[in-house]
Structure 1
Amino acid sequence: MSGSRSVLTHLALTVVGFLVAGAAGGLLWERLSDPTAGLTYDNQWYLEPAGPDVAFQSVALFVVIAFPLGVVLASVAALWRDGEMATVLTVLVAAAAAGLVMYAVGTSLGPPDPQVLAAGSPDYTPLPGGLGLTAPDRGRTPWMSTALAAFPAGAMTGLVGMFLFGTQGLARRSRG
């Protein structure tokens, strides 16, 4: 009974750790992000200067923060060598939730959606761009992006690395 309680405690701590790290990652994402500049015209917001490299910086920063966080947290979770399958499933679900938490915290702290603010604003009004994982075009859902897979991808990379190359992964067992 104490063995299963120990595994459940480990899994619960793993989930909590991922969620806290997701919130911290969202805070870091918002703090390090340089809002894109734009102008309003005809009740719409446009990047100024326009270009995919300008719109992509928020997405790139999200991935640069989320992937390593996933690797580190999963590597720490993999140090516990009991219940590997439960650990893999828990880390995968917790990492996906942490990515969503990171997005929610970052966007709630960042500037509001410029497309909403552009409606009713006079033409050529400068507005900062909001944090999002897609281009800030009208009609796009700002969270619908493959960048949300960065946290789980990093976590799976960390688990595979630890399970294969961790301290016990390549240990030779005696044959006699």
Structure 2
Amino acid sequence: MSDVTAAAGPDGSTGGDGANGGSLRLLRRVLSVLALFVVGGAAGGVLWERLWDAPTGLAFQGRWYLEPAGPDFSFEGIALFVLIAFPLGLVLAVLAGLWRGHETVTVVAVLVSAGIAAAVMYAVGTALGPPDPQALAAGRPDYTPLPGDLGLTAPDDGRVRWHSTALVVLPAGAMAGLVGSYLLGNLGFARRSRG
């Protein structure tokens, strides 16, 4: 055993808080990153729904059809999701990357939290948007106009609304932001010796 003790830091801690203090700090970091991303994902979902213009369609023989049909109308919601999710993930990851130390834990926490944030963004956006027009069209007379719903796939009958690769855009933006903050973050922030 050694009789050497660590010098106390400015906050009175000795840096060697033991296993409990270190794991408690890591748990706080992971939960803080998760909370940051969940709140950001919810805000992104609200923004996604607010900026999106619902396409209109018609009920015909118990089914809903987009009118006018075309990819520019059916994929507007997906494109808007991508345009919001990538920069959102980028900014949130840069904020998480400012917290130095334990980078491996931060990378894993950011990746998992970004996936959860993408799901939260989708869930909040679709919950605020109009209901499923296919379900509404079932009991309506022919040629009744109905708004489309917000989803990440084409509004075709039988498609699952969230089966889309657009959900990986927020984690991709987060990884790009974290890599950028780790590679470029110390430029200009390094302390220069005064001696």
* TMscore range, shorter length: over 0.9
Name the count of aligned residue pairs. Answer: 174
Q: Distance in 2 between matches of 1:169 and 1:73?
A: 21
Q: How do 1:10-159 residues align onto structure 2 when only pairs under 5 Å count?
A: 10-159=29-178
The one-letter code of the counterpart of 2:167 is L
Unpaired stretches in structure 2, ≥5 consecutive residues = 1-16, 191-195
Unpaired stretches in structure 1, ≥5 consecutive residues = 172-176
The one-letter code of the counterpart of 1:50 is A
The one-letter code of the counterpart of 1:46 is Y
Task: Give the stretch that moved more between structures: 6-15 or 80-89.
Answer: 6-15
Q: Which of the pair has more CA radius of gyration?
A: 2
Alpha-carbon offset, residue 161 of structure 1: 0.8
Residue among 131, 138, 162 paired with 2:181: 162
Q: Distance in 2 between matches of 1:157 and 1:53?
A: 28
**Residue in 2 that maps onto 1:174:** none
| 1:96-151 Cα deviation digits (max 9, x unpaired) | 00000111111111000111111121111100000000001000000100011111
Stretches of 4+ aligned residues off by more than 2 angstroms: 1-8, 168-171
The one-letter code of the counterpart of 2:156 is D
Structure with higher helix content: 1
Q: Distance in 2 between matches of 1:6 and 1:145?
A: 36
Aligned residues with identical type, % of pairs: 62
